[in-house]
Amino acid sequence: MMRASDLTATAVRALRANPLRSALTALGVIIGVASVIAMVALGRGAQTQVERSIQSLGSNLLIIVPGAFNQGGVRGAAGGWDSLTQGDADAIKADISGLAAVAPGVRAQGQLVAGGFNWNTRIEGVTPDYLTARDWEVEHGRFFDEREVAQARRVVVLGQTVANELFPNVEALGETVRINGGSYEVIGVLGSKGQSGFGADQDDIALAPLTTVKRRIAGRRGRGDSVSQISVKAVDEAALARAETAITELLRQRHRTNGEDDDFTVQNLSSIAEAGQEATQTFTALLASISAVSLLVGGIGIMNIMLVSVTERTREIGLRKALGARQADILRQFGLEAVALSVMGGLIGLGLGYLAAWIITSAVNLPLTLAPETAAMAIGFSGLVGVAFGAYPAWRAAQLDPIEALRRE
């Protein structure tokens, strides 16, 4: 019986005797493993991006916006009219339990001017609860308080992008900006949140007291008691589901929908995140399944080359048997060669797959997420391919008659 070390040395010598053929034989496995690694990394990166995007908006967050409307036979898109009011926000805060913050808001677009610089950005009129609801912090200065909201004070808190554009060489805190002809004092600068999953710059924003924006900036949007949206933060995930149901019922009662379509929409960001994760997981599994076909093609290539190798080395096999090698020794030798080819291809494919994943995720601005279990599974599967597709050639080699093998030219 041949020792394992002798079998390994013999298999290595056989593979090194034809390096180009060995490399081409392993090419299918290399491509298959590299494709699986790259596609799984791409899918995981997309999933991570979705999670980060939702988390950047705020955890355990519900966003209530005006719904689609149908008036006089004319239909309008969601958010296209004023169906939410400050009274709705007050009722939610008073009647719904398990809430950490309720922040009504009004949106506007405006040109901010400071010195020789100007910047067009999104302006939101909010209340102090906005920071809690959106998990945002003031990096420099302070946020306005309830007294300043009640007095409609001309103060503003800038996002990082706006602060950098208007005050590139000086500290924005304490400076004055002009909006719609009025002067506003910069009392704070928000911490950076970066881009959302949709590519929007979340730091390109200016926050002012709700009453200030309604009366001085928003124009039509500032009419009456209306608000553009209401952000509601629950204390935890369990309270979030209860709050969504309770808020929906409360607003239906207040708006007297009477079985008609709701004139508001309650957006649960956790549900959106889960839907996005399920979609990316399905997409990743599909890509990985398609890529795995390359491994099967690589396995067929290994089987073909191993059959050719058996034919070419018939006399060698006969000589080994004549010198006392058993069928099990021949079987293990050729099986080991097939597994070595496949695993070698898997290791090279692993490196190329990680390189491809880095290039692709960098090009499309996705986080690179590498899972060790994916690498282990790819290598293990490539070894399994070697065993499965190398079994028949090894069996053919082991079944050769030594006398007939020695006679063959």
Per run of 10 residues, the mean pLDDT along the chain (length 409 residues) is 56 66 77 82 75 65 76 46 84 90 91 90 93 90 94 94 91 91 93 71 91 83 76 86 89 78 80 62 70 74 76 71 72 76 84 87 78 77 78 74 62
Question: What would you report as the CA-atom Rg of the chain, rounded to the nearest whole angstrom?
Answer: 33
pLDDT at 167: 92
pLDDT score of 74: 43
Contact 299, 342 (CB under 8 A): yes
- State both tokens at 220: 């039509």
What pLDDT does 374 receive?
74
What is the rounded distance in angstroms from the CA atom of residue 102 to the CA atom of residue 88?
Answer: 10
pTM, to two decimals: 0.61
**Cα torsion 363, 364, 365, 371: sign:** negative
Does residue 125 sit in helix, strand or coil? Answer: strand
Length of the chain in residues, anyone?
A: 409
* Maximum CA extent, the chain: 106
CA–CA distance, 350 with 344 (Å, rounded to integer): 10
